[in-house]
Amino acid sequence: MARGADSGYESRVGSVSGSGFEREVDLEVLVIGSGGREHALVWKLARSPEVSKVWCAPGNGGISTHGECVPIPVDDSDGLLAFAKEKKIGLTVVGPEKPLCDGLVDRFRKAGLLAFGPSRKAARIEGSKAWCRELCARHHIPSPQSWTFHDIAKANAFLENYQEPRLVVKASGLAAGKGVTICKSKAEARKAVSDCLEGASFGEAGRTVVLEQFLEGEELSMLALTDGQTIVPLETAKDHKAAFEGDKGPNTGGMGAVSPAPAANARTLKQVESQVLVQGIHALGMEGAPYQGVLYAGLMVTPLGPRVLEFNCRFGDPEAQVLLFRLESDLLPYLVAAAENRLESMNEGVSWDPRPAATVVAVADDYPGNYRKGQRIHGLELCPEEEDFVIFHSGTRRGPEGNLFTNGGRVFAVTAKAATMDAALGRCYEALEKVRFPGMRFRRDIGKRKWEA
């Protein structure tokens, strides 16, 4: 057992076998959300011997293969609460950031229902990038330099005197992963700031803008389950945010992911665990926002060590697809233990498939812009689920005759694991040649390091 320096926070990897976890084996679980992350959660939880049924609200066209969908929107907190009470749901897992930031878990806990996810106060670590940057500065969590603005004149005055050519502009609020612009010049930075503060490109999310130092390095995502005292670090992953090959184009919600991350090594992981995950959870506790759930750290591994690009208050998407596909242990006991403040009882190692996994996301044309919906999807029946291969749906819906149609920008994520990363990616791309819908596109360089792209 490792303990965070002077923090009192424990870092322990647990397991199902021999953990002392005792619960009736007829537990019904509710997963809230409709994306690929939620499909992966439903897929994994349905495999638990402790679970009798998995519900998903509202779900998507593929989730019904592994659970039952109920047409309750994620923002209908009254409807979700009533459903959980009616069905005597044993555990609710909130997938997306918006209901977490709106306080859905608080409502469930107040009603005496077990829910996995942070409180509204703790979820602010994702809900406000400006507040997150202030938190990192106060508690010495390694991060890029940043500056926050509400007024465009002050932001432009800062840009006039900023010496570096590259800068990152972020909408402070929730923007579904699309509120980040990497600017190569002051002109691009001014436009990005104007789009947020004057053009309302991101609505309320862009009323405050965060300017950040551009960092060179390689990205790494690391997540940990926590009850606010003990953490269970998960395996590493790398997301690919940019819309087009070569990391070009606007940022998206994620075009693909691989696990483990190429930048992961023992020294870096030790630094991330102690300086970022443990320190981040300690900081939230010190600020009166104790954190329960999964804490996601999006990092840049630089020559000076890892730096926090962002904290998220939920499983990443598409990182969840590769992480849950590699996780061999039963997920349910860990989620319950985190929600019940007893993660320290999980006293053996989490089991992972040692083989790498990859996922490639098929998206609608013009995503992340104004994309079309309602396009018929063909060929999914040619790619059946296997032990080492699965397709997780994101933006899909079923028609009256069972046909599948696109219903979002990111449509599905083709996921595979194999002895090598190249083999896993090859399996993904082989499947993508069999599936089609009008305007479908995907990145062909997922898993490539920058110098290989």
Q: Annotate 295-327 with DSSP letters as a single string.
A: EEEEEEEETTEEEEEEEESS--TTHHHHHHHHB
Check whether 22 has a pLDDT greater than 60: no
Examine residue 356 and say whether the peptide bond preceding it is cis (omega within 30 degrees of 0): no
User: Both tokens of residue 87?
Assistant: 């069905």
CATH number at residue 189: 3.30.1490
253 lies in the same domain as 336: yes
Phi, psi (rounded to 5 degrees) for 211: -100, 135
Could you say which of 345, 372, 396 is where a domain stops?
A: 345
Check whether 234 has a pLDDT greater than 70: yes
Contacts of 212 (CB under 8 A, 6+ apart): 133, 144, 145, 146, 147, 167, 168, 169, 170
Could you say which of 163, 187, 207 is where a domain stops?
A: 207
Is-contact 319 237, C-beta < 8 A?
Answer: yes
Mapping DSSP to helix (H, G, I), strand (E, B) and coil, where does residue 421 land?
A: helix
Examine residue 368 and say whether the peptide bond preceding it is cis (omega within 30 degrees of 0): yes
70 lies in the same domain as 110: yes
Residue 244 exposed, middle or buried by CB count within 10 Å (0-12, 13-18, 19+): middle
User: Residue 358 corresponds to which amino acid?
Assistant: A
Question: How many Å separate Cα 2 from the centre of its chain?
Answer: 25
Overall average pLDDT of the 241-259 stretch = 94
* Average per-residue pLDDT for the chain: 91
CATH number at residue 240: 3.30.470.20
180 lies in the same domain as 261: no
Question: How many Å separate Cα 52 from the centre of its chain?
Answer: 26
C-alpha–C-alpha distance, residues 324 and 237, integer Å: 11
243 lies in the same domain as 323: yes
> How many separate domains does the chain show?
4
Is-contact 311 118, C-beta < 8 A?
Answer: no
- Strand stretches in 281-436, DSSP E: 293-302, 305-312, 357-363, 389-393, 396-398, 404-406, 410-417
User: Both tokens of residue 63?
Assistant: 């989730």
Domain presence at residue 22: no
181 lies in the same domain as 86: no
pLDDT in tens, 156-193: 999 999 988 899 999 988 877 678 889 999 899 999 99
Could you say which of 289, 313, 345 is where a domain stops?
A: 345
pLDDT at residue 401 in the model:
86
pLDDT in tens, 34-52: 999 999 999 999 999 999 9
- Helices then strands, counting H and E runs in the chain, come out as 13, 23
pLDDT at residue 177 in the model:
66
Domain presence at residue 44: yes
340 lies in the same domain as 251: yes
pTM of the entire structure? 0.92
Of the candidates 302, 304, 296, 290, the residue with the CA atom closest to the CA atom of residue 276: 296
User: 199 falls in which pLDDT band (50, 70, 90)?
Assistant: confident
200 lies in the same domain as 262: no
pLDDT at residue 9 in the model:
46
pLDDT in tens, 78-127: 999 999 999 999 999 999 999 999 999 999 999 999 999 999 999 999 99
221 lies in the same domain as 203: no
Examine residue 260 and say whether the peptide bond preceding it is cis (omega within 30 degrees of 0): yes
363 lies in the same domain as 326: no
Lowest-confidence range among 171-180, 318-327, 392-401, 437-446? 171-180
- The domain in which residue 178 lies consists of 151-207
User: 4 falls in which pLDDT band (50, 70, 90)?
Assistant: very low
Domain presence at residue 91: yes
156 lies in the same domain as 231: no
Phi, psi (rounded to 5 degrees) for 203: 60, -140
Domain presence at residue 279: yes
pLDDT in tens, 269-306: 999 999 999 999 999 999 999 999 999 999 999 999 99
Overall average pLDDT of the 424-438 stretch = 98
Percent of the chain with pLDDT over 70: 91
CATH number at residue 369: 3.90.600.10
Domain presence at residue 313: yes
User: 451 falls in which pLDDT band (50, 70, 90)?
Assistant: very low
Domain presence at residue 450: no
Check whether 453 has a pLDDT greater than 60: no
Domain presence at residue 405: yes
pLDDT at residue 20 in the model:
42
pLDDT at residue 450 in the model:
55
pLDDT in tens, 57-91: 999 999 999 999 999 999 999 999 999 999 999 99
pLDDT in tens, 375-416: 999 999 999 999 999 999 999 999 988 899 999 999 999 999
Of the candidates 172, 170, 91, the residue with the CA atom closest to the CA atom of residue 125: 172
CATH number at residue 83: 3.40.50.20
Residue 70 exposed, middle or buried by CB count within 10 Å (0-12, 13-18, 19+): middle
Is-contact 275 183, C-beta < 8 A?
Answer: no
Check whether 200 has a pLDDT greater than 80: no
Domain presence at residue 130: no
237 lies in the same domain as 317: yes
